[in-house]
Amino acid sequence: MCAYPFVSARTYKGFVADCCAKRTATPVCHPTGHRLGSVSEANTSTSRTGGVSQVDGLQENHLDESPRGLIIMAVVGVAVGILSGLFGIGGGTVIVPALVWLGLTQRHAAATSMMAIVPTAVSGVVSYAMEGDVDWVAAALVFCGMFVGGQIGSWLLSKLPELVLRWAFVLFLVFVIVNQAMSNPSRDARIVMHAGTIAGLVAFGLIAGILAGLLGIGGGAICVPALSILFGASDLIARGTSLLAMFPNAITTSVANVRRHLVHVKAALIIGITAAITAPLGTWIAAAVSPRAGAILFTVYLCVLLVRSLWVAIQAIRR
């Protein structure tokens, strides 16, 4: 759609073509005669329906919705569901890079990922709860912090430059990998509640919520190692509790993102529903492997993702 709805499509296309041909910093006017400033200033004019750049013929945010693109989204959903059940994560570490590859900006991919996490987390937590591997009190405390943090993260998501978001994602992955390498998970340990634990869980939830809203992740990749290392939960309880804490936060953050026109709803539903179907398979695998084997698998997966994300961030600087 034309960025200026009161201008005919033919006139607007001619104006855009002229801008592309000249590529100068001289003042220009749009087809109605109103002064825009320089061409570079005109290029910053965007549609408010999804943040798509319309001037100079470039679409900075265009998702591939061809049959190939839809198949890729479904495959991503299958993988996310298994990983969510296996590691207790929302799957944003897979969804965000995949959506960026399919054409969304980092900002819109992060927001769309957060919505896709909702059905994924619900399916996973049901599977863990049926085996008694959910600490309901700890999850409620973490969510209290995540609720506030998620709103802060969503606000930052709409304000920070694209390059900052890419490098924040890289630093986040490094942090999680280091924590996983240090962990020695147990299958029998449980969280012991006292005043310090309660305050710690809420404070941790605040930090996790900010990162979740900012990076488009559910927070599980942060919560699972933290619940084990800092609060003494077993690997299975950490995963089940993480999933329970994240899905209410994913809902509230997604509402904020939708209001800011950052979510591609169709992509979120395709990935989220597919992931919800396959999440119980991941939960079954998690119970079948040893705690240490599960931690090693998670670390390997994150290292592969780190290499790719680092490459993308470096390429963004070179541009």
Q: What is the pLDDT of residues 253-294, one digit of tens each?
A: 888 888 888 899 999 999 999 999 999 999 999 888 887 788
| 191 secondary structure, DSSP code | P
Q: Sketch the domain layout of the chain as residue ranges.
A: 67-318
Measure Cα distances from 201 to 137, 227, 239 in Å. 10, 9, 15
Confidence of residue 3 (pLDDT cuts 50, 70, 90): very low
Please state, in angstroms and rounded to a whole number, the distance separating the CA atoms of residues 9 and 54.
Answer: 12
Looking at residues 138-156, what average pLDDT do you find? 87
DSSP H helices in 158-234? 162-182, 195-215, 220-229
- Which H/E stretch holds residue 92? helix 92-101
| 56 secondary structure, DSSP code | G
**In the predicted model, is pLDDT for residue 156 greater than 90?**
no
The pLDDT tens digits of the residues spanning 18-28 come to 545 444 444 43
Report the pLDDT value the prediction gives residue 183, as an integer from 0 to 100: 66
Report the pLDDT value the prediction gives residue 112, as an integer from 0 to 100: 92
Dihedral through CA 136, CA 142, CA 145, CA 147, nearest 10?
-60
- Residue 89 CB neighbour total at 10 angstroms: 33
Confidence of residue 162 (pLDDT cuts 50, 70, 90): low
Tokens found for residue 139: 């999850």
What is the pTM assigned to this prediction?
A: 0.65
Q: Is 34 exposed, middle or buried (0-12, 13-18, 19+ CB in 10 A)?
A: exposed
Tokens found for residue 317: 């600087």
**In the predicted model, is pLDDT for residue 174 greater than 90?**
no
Strand partners, 27: 38
Confidence of residue 230 (pLDDT cuts 50, 70, 90): confident
**R_g (Cα) of the chain, nearest Å:** 22
Please state, in angstroms and rounded to a whole number, the distance separating the CA atoms of residues 45 and 191.
Answer: 52
The helix, strand and coil proportions of the chain, stated in percent and rounded to the nearest 5, come to 70, 5, 25
**In the predicted model, is pLDDT for residue 16 greater than 50?**
no
Looking at residues 64-78, what average pLDDT do you find? 92
* Residue/partner pairs of 33-38 with CB below 8 Å, 24 or more apart: none
Report the pLDDT value the prediction gives residue 157, as an integer from 0 to 100: 73
* Percentage of residues of the chain with pLDDT beyond 90: 22
Tokens found for residue 65: 């919705």
